[in-house]
Structure 1
Amino acid sequence: MEIVTAEYSAHHLQVLEGLEAVRKRPGMYIGSTDARGLMHCLWEIIDNAVDEALGGHGDRIEVLLHSDGSVEVRDHARGIPVDVEPRTGLTGVEVVFTKLHAGGKFGGGSYAASGGLHGVGASVVNALSERLDVEVDRDGKTYAMSFHRGEPGLFDGPSPDAAFTPFEKSSELRVAGKVRKGVTGSRIRYWADRQIFTKDAGFNLDELVQRARQTAFLVPGLEIVIVDERAGTGDDRVETSYRYDGGISEFAEFLAPDASVTDVWRLTGTGTFTETVPVLQATGAMVPTEVQRECEVDVAVRWGTGYETVSRSFANIIATPKGGTHQQGFEAGLMKVVRDQVQQNARRLKVGASEKLEKDDILAGLSSVLTVRLPEPQFEGQTKEVLGTPAVRQIVQNVVTRELSARFASSKRDDKSQTAQLLDKVVSEMKARISARTHKETQRRKTALESSSLPVKLADCRTQDVSQSELFIVEGDSALGTAKHARNSEYQALLPIRGKILNVQKASISDMLSNAECAAIIQTVGAGSGRTFDLDGARYGKIILMSDADVDGAHIRTLLLTLFFRYMRPLIEDGRVYAAVPPLHRVVVMNPGSKPNETIYTYSEQELHALLAKLQKSGKRWQEPVQRYKGLGEMDADQLATTTMDRNGRTLRRVHVRDAEAAAHMFELLMGSEVAPRRDFIVSSSDRIGREAIDA
């Protein structure tokens, strides 16, 4: 006797068994259940649409973040197949969204090279969604189907909370409307399941925009539109669109953070390899078969005057942030060619036999975009962060070696000039590294009493324990005098700076090193600068920027952070850089009788007004006028120690770099040599700052 219930029908027993594994172990498929996992689900749906565009089907993708928390992806490609798949007896739409490892990317007939290769993307998103609606335009009709946590059925209303009735005996791909002949495409809208994802998980617009821009660079001619409706409608609706016809050459130019030494060079080629893979036969058996693959390689490289390396690698337009065999082949080819060229030009470059190039010398100042396209690449895990296909390494190395050697052998005037400048840069990086290493090997951590190499104005601490030591970079000599009496000389060192230091964002390295204040800071920290910076050599566990609580103090703090960000970034990344938070006001509350008065410090105008209102309400009096600190020098030693320097009572603001690339662009905007973008930013942002916020 057959028993069928509305909640759990036997018809979908097998489907739910498969998708139930996804719901029990979501981390296996999407990495995590926080915002990263939520974004990964969205990438799975977007990547399917991008794969269609790569195949020449459709040139526009729209991503809509709806105000109700759902997200929708629209494409104008061929549309998901709606006919019945013979082995399962289900329509193509239901197979794609309910069967793990099902899709058109296994046999090689529909997609020569695609990003979504495991066949679990759409079905995983479906399994982890409270509701998923799909509409497909094909054959003059619009087909529709809905799912609740992976099970197909019908909803009573438009929201995920509407009553749901699962199909009992057979599923139905309903016809929802008609479209003009020749119109095709898919629309997928889903609500992430809050039983799976954490409460604070949300779609990150900045990350989505960055990924959309990146994909538009990688697929020339594809337009990607991002619409954010979460803030409301009308003027609050945020819409951005990206389309680039220059491909990865334009991408490399966009990524470059410095002035150019070379133009963007394109290195392209193909290679073939064979591999044995299990192939599904008509009988349903998997038979190991030797197949021949073709791998297309396309690389854009561009060297600049700086030392930062900006590298992006992709396999079938899927980002591989942790590299893989293609990245290994690229670096090996690069090393071989440049080393050979330096050896051939050793006399002109004045390179000795004992001086050997290392990888970092060649990668300094390099902005590169590496892409490979091949059928069925082997990724490590569903998150696809590392490419593992072994044969790709040699193919990429061969292409890079051949194309880059041809560039060095070119007789064109521009090529000869640029390759010569590149060799000069690489050799200078090598000599700087060797010189820094020699200096570091002879250097030991010493106190100011033991070494005259440290700045004379440094008031060092006594402890040799780096984890306990603190360096306060103090604004002005007046604050230094007070700070000397306020500090604990056992573990707190003081370095005063005079006025505003050099803006290193638009100064050269030599100008920075010749600047007395910048040199004193780098010398005091003791770990070098730039590419040769060694975190283990830092003399202090905390670097604390202590400036006045006014506009000038904020500017000085910004200049100091620019120096640390550009030349000592590992300190920030390791969480060692802090900003002191001195108070703005000192309120003395008068207590009756012989009870001593109480001192309260506030850190903003808002906090002060709230405190005074609270005191007035409770009938307490305070000394007038309330002391307003315009600078650190106005505090006495006890006040400075209590509020800013004593570990038991102070407040420190740790400086983080959560997104180094975004931070680099902001530093360049605010502190760089280009005036026009900064002026536009100030004009567009002026309405955010009121008159009372300006310390005049």
Structure 2
Amino acid sequence: MTESGNPSQPPNVHEYNSGHIQVLEGLEAVRRRPGMYIGSTGERGLHQMVYEVVSYAVDEHLAGRADAIDVTITPDGGMCVADNGRGLPVGAEEPVGKSTLERELTELSWGSKPRTGYWVSGGLGGLGLGVVNALSSRLTVEIRRDGHRWTQDYEKGTPTTPLTRREETSEHGTAIAFLPDADIFETTRYSFATLSERFEELAFLNGGLAISLTDERPERPVRHHHADGLLAYVAHLNPYPPSLVHFPAIGFESENQDETIFVQVAMQWSTWPQEEFRSFANSVRTHEGGAHEQGFRTALTDIVNDYARRQRHLSANDEDITAEAVQAGLSAVVSVKLARPVFEGSTRTKLGNPEANAYVQEVVRQHLTDWLDRNPDEAAAIIRRILNSSTG
């Protein structure tokens, strides 16, 4: 088993080229039933359009090829998402004769980008860019790749200009600017606060990735960059140092031997009565929890009871500490990245992979037990806080 894995630097980085497209269907179905693809035609679906484009850029970060994403709300109410990744492929494909870029934007496809090592995707798994194009009144894509700048324009999913090679450049990356179709969406006004909150979340989950957001309606820039990842996220959830039971927070990560599951955990107890818990799968917030959350909670309760008995905080006749007492005052973030996530329900907010349950349990049992044994003073303070909660 490889500990402290880093999915952004996999051992073998595959090339990203025209051979990764598998056609499913055209875009007319998206315009007929947009809610099936982005959840709604209200504000939630409007913001999902942005998340799908940003998700492509995050995938480039996970492949080790991008470390910055710049998002701009333009004065006309449109959106521009730019990254410094490899740039979408522009080569022509046989026998169809279209560029890979055009196929990516006009056909629903699966697995269009290799997920080097993990093959993870936080969006619609290769469908996202085509869906965004279909639901935009206009879209412009600008690619810097293969020594040149390339551009192409679209309207409602249909190309209106050919892919055009522009001036030479040594830069690389993709910029996609789009205007949501007002005939489809109930509102086309973005919430700066909603977008900023999600981008900060992504920055926490992908340490080292910088995401900036600028609102030109008027200008209101913000930049999220958290090198400490989930530890910084827990600090964000626990902003009052006097209430902390222990410092610093507990953090650990691990990937399985097959490099198909990567687990990150950060956690910290405070004297506050409520729990603050966040779980994610491939950077998608799993509001309904699922296998990874169940694995964490199961292991956590078992470990606390085992440690309390080993250290004689509990006698043989004492009942086990309840899960509710263990979780009181706990701020925790659990993030998993999986090769093949299985989400339950159309909202994609509950993870169903049983292997995630088993592996999260294994990782938590190993690392949290080791932390408690190596930090007896902090561990004793945590157990006292939990026991006070169970009797309170």
Q: Which residue of structure 2 aligns with residue 512 of structure 1?
A: none
**Distance in 2 (alpha carbons) for counterparts of 1:244 and 1:16:** 37
Offset, 1:317: 2.1
Q: What is the deviation of 1:293? A: 5.4
Q: Is the 8 A contact 1:117 1:376 kept in 2?
A: no
User: Secondary structure of the residue that 2:61 maps to in structure 1?
Assistant: helix
Cα deviation, residue 17, structure 1: 6.7
Does 2:180 correspond to 1:192?
yes
Aligned equivalent of 1:121, options 101, 111, 128 = 128
Match of 1:173, as an amino acid?
Answer: L
Match for residue 344 of structure 2? 380
Q: Counterpart of 2:17?
A: none
Superposed, 1:499-578 pairs within 5 Å as: none
Counterpart of 2:369 in structure 1 is 405
CA distance, structure 2, for counterparts of residue 380 and residue 80 of structure 1: 30
Structure 1 residue identity aligned to 2:70: E
1:314 paired residue among 268, 280, 284: 280
Alignment of 1:265-280 (within 5 A): 265-272=250-257
Quote how far apart the aligned CAs of 1:327 are: 0.8
Does residue 1:207 correspond to 2:174, yes or no?
A: no
Residue-by-residue CA offset, 1:356-412 (whole Å, 9 max, x unaligned): 4222111111111111122122223565322221111000001101111112222xx
Deviation by residue 1:196-242 (Cα, 9 ceiling, x = unmatched): 110x34211101111111212222222211110113xxxxx211112
Q: Residue 123 of structure 2: SS of its match in structure 1?
A: coil
Change (3 A) 1:255 1:384: same
Cα drift, residue 150 of structure 1: 1.0
8 A contact 1:30–1:382 mirrored in 2: no
Cα shift at 1:18: 2.2
Please point out which of 160, 164, 172 is paired with 1:174.
Answer: 164
Instruction: Please point out which of 103, 106, 110 is paired with 1:95.
Output: 103
C-alpha distance in 2 between matches for 1:97 and 1:296: 30
Check the 8 A contact 2:246/2:378 in 1, yes or no.
Answer: yes
**Root-mean-square deviation (CA), in Å?**
2.2
- Does structure 1 retain, via aligned residues, the 8 Å contact 2:70–2:82? yes
CA contact (8 A) 1:63 1:73 kept: yes
Letter in 2 for 1:246: D
Structure 1 residue corresponding to 2:382, chosen from 416, 422, 430 = 422
Once superposed, which parts of structure 1, at least 4 consecutive aligned residues long, lie more than 6 Å away? none
- Counterpart Cα distance in 2 of 1:375 and 1:117: 14
* Residue pair 2:144, 2:169 contacting (<8 A) in 1 also: no
Q: Look up the match of 2:324.
A: 360
**2:81 maps to 1:73:** yes
Measure how far apart 1:111 and its partner are. Answer: 6.2
1:32 to 40, 58, 78: 40
| 8 Å contact from structure 1 (residues 16, 151) kept in 2 | no
The answer to whether the 8 A contact 1:96-1:103 is kept is: no
- Matched with 2:298 is 332
CA 1:17 to 1:52, structure 2 compared with 1: closer, same or farther past 3 Å? closer
Partner of residue 343 from structure 1, selected from 306, 309, 315: 309
Q: Which residue identity does 1:336 align to in structure 2?
A: D
Asked whether the equivalents of residues 104 and 111 of structure 1 are also in contact (C-alpha less than 8 Å), the reply is: no
Which letter maps to 2:56?
N
- Structure 1 letter corresponding to 2:291: T
Structure 2 residue aligned with 1:303:
269
Q: Aligned partners of 1:222, 1:294: CA distance in 2, in Å? A: 21
| Alignment correspondent of 1:47 | 55
Determine helix, strand or coil for the equivalent of 2:263.
strand
Q: Secondary structure at the match of 1:369?
A: strand
| CA contact 2:41–2:184 (8 Å) conserved in 1 | yes
- Listed one character per residue, the Cα deviations across residues 118-166 of structure 1 (whole Å, up to 9, x for unaligned) are 2211111111111111111112211111111111114xxxxxxxxxxxx
Name stretches of at least 5 consecutive residues in structure 1 with no aligned partner.
1-14, 155-171, 232-236, 273-291, 433-696
Shift of the 80–381 alpha-carbon distance from structure 1 to 2, 3 Å rule, reads farther
Using the size of structure 1 for normalisation, the TM-score is 0.50
Opposite residue 238 of structure 1, the aligned amino acid is R
Are 1:104 and 2:92 an aligned pair?
Answer: no
Q: 2:229 aligns with which of 247, 255, 265?
A: 247
The one-letter code matched in structure 2 to 1:227 is T
| Superimposed CA distance per residue, residues 400-442 of structure 1 (whole angstroms, 9 cap, x where no aligned partner) | 01111112222xxxx111100111111111112xxxxxxxxxx
Q: In 1, are the aligned partners of 2:59 and 2:115 still within 8 Å (CA)?
A: no
Q: Which residues of structure 2 form unaligned runs of 5+?
A: 1-22
Match of 1:158 in 2: none
Which segment is superposed worse, 113-122 or 37-46? 113-122
Give per-residue Cα distances to partners, 1:293-344, cap 9 Å, x unaligned.
5312110111111112111112222222221211111111101101212333
CA deviations 1:8-51 (Å, max 9, x no partner) are xxxxxxx9972111111111111111000000110000111111
Question: Matches of 2:160 and 2:343 in 1, distance apart?
Answer: 34
The one-letter code of the counterpart of 2:389 is E
**CA-CA distance at 1:77 after TM superposition:** 0.9
Kindly tell me the number of residue pairs found equivalent between the two proteins: 367
Q: Which amino acid counterpart does residue 228 of structure 1 have in structure 2? A: D
1:85 CA drift (Å): 2.8
Query: What is the letter of the counterpart of residue 197 of structure 2?
Result: Q
Tell me the percent identity: 36
Write out aligned runs for 1:451-530 (5 A). none
The structural deviation recorded for 1:114 is 3.0
The answer on whether the counterparts of 1:294 and 1:374 sit within 8 Å (CA) in structure 2 is: yes
Shift of 1:57: 1.2
**C-alpha separation in 1, matches of 2:100 and 2:110:** 10
Distance 2:119 2:293 in 1: 22
Deviates more, 1:237-246 or 1:69-78: 237-246
* Contact 2:118-2:338 at 8 Å conserved across structures: no
SS, match of residue 343 in structure 2: coil
Do 1:53 and 1:222's aligned partners in 2 also have CA atoms closer than 8 Å? Answer: yes
Q: CA 1:128 to 1:16, structure 2 compared with 1: closer, same or farther past 3 Å?
A: farther
Which secondary structure state, in structure 1, belongs to the residue aligned with residue 341 of structure 2? coil
Distance 1:97 1:297 in 2: 32
1:248-297 Cα deviation digits (max 9, x unpaired): 1111111115421122111322325xxxxxxxxxxxxxxxxxxx553121
Deviations 1:524-575 (A, max 9, x none): xxxxxxxxxxxxxxxxxxxxxxxxxxxxxxxxxxxxxxxxxxxxxxxxxxxx
The residue type paired with residue 39 of structure 1 is H
Kept after mapping to 2: 8 A contact 1:95/1:102: no
Structure having greater relative contact order (Cα 8 Å, sep ≥ 6): 2
Q: Which residue of 1 aligns with 2:244?
A: 260
- TM-score, length basis structure 2: 0.88
Kindly indicate whether the alpha-carbon contact (under 8 Å) linking 2:52 and 2:124 is maintained by their aligned counterparts in 1: no
